[in-house]
Chain A
């Protein structure tokens, strides 16, 4: 395979990434367990990363790699804080149903 060619057409990567992304979205919207919601968010991060890498490969520009790297860092930070919030909420309310946490109701 020529190094400047993708294994398959770029559109297939885009389609795959969007499918994974929306699976993540669906997870966030449908599930009420904050842990699974957080995992769904990770899915979305990764879908984005996949796109970064696919486009980087397509254009042979490693800026996409750098972005993916940054995304992983941010995702790590996000996961850490998200989990911390889950723990705090669980401590104060003894359950972690996100529907119960509705203080932002206007």
Chain B
């Protein structure tokens, strides 16, 4: 199991690196797919069977497909994804790296503290899938629909809001028309800018 963990760890990091370094978004998507796949295996190893499956279905099946569709949609245009200079301060990348390393150490340090492995509220581990066994689908479902019913319902609400939001944002509605007043301001600003440019 230790070997499996380290192998998965290497694969997870590698695929994640690929996601953020790939030139083309579609390659990133492929990397992310791989990443999710390895992650699902890790979840299995942590006895989270249901979530491992969800990970594959929801993330790999739904969300990544969405990414692919958007990429396809946008790639039909002619403009490149990135134009112009990178305006981020030069210090950004090294700063991120330093912070990342720092935090990594911190996190590692925190969790090296002895943690009491308690089993107060949980259930005993047992055969996969069976009720009353930690991480089983039945166990998860029981927790979800009894103790955590309200949060579960709220997720439904969140998703609905998201759907409405997406429709409002990307839906094909009447474009935003500036009021006359605003138009005047814009016009005045432009005129001033032209005058200023002329003076310079």
Contacts and interface: CB of A to CB of B under 8 A. Distances in A.
B190 interface: no
B8 to A, nearest CB: 9
A68 B107 CA distance: 19
User: Which size class do B's interface residues fall under?
Assistant: 35 or more
A1 B77 contact: no
Nearest to A12: B5
User: Which size class do A's interface residues fall under?
Assistant: 35 or more
A99 B88 contact: yes
Chain A interface mostly:
helix
Contact of A15 (B66, B79, B107): B107
Interface of B: 1-2, 4-6, 9, 12-13, 16-17, 19-20, 22, 25, 28-29, 32, 35-36, 39, 42-43, 45-48, 50-51, 54-55, 58-59, 62-63, 66-67, 70-71, 73-74, 77, 79-88, 92-93, 96-97, 99-100, 103-104, 107-108, 110-112, 115, 117-126, 134-135, 139-140, 143-144, 148, 151, 155, 158-159, 161-163, 165-166, 169-170
Interface of A: 1-8, 10-20, 22-27, 29-33, 35-36, 38-40, 42-43, 46, 49-50, 53-54, 56-63, 65-66, 68-70, 72-81, 83-88, 90, 94-97, 99-100, 102
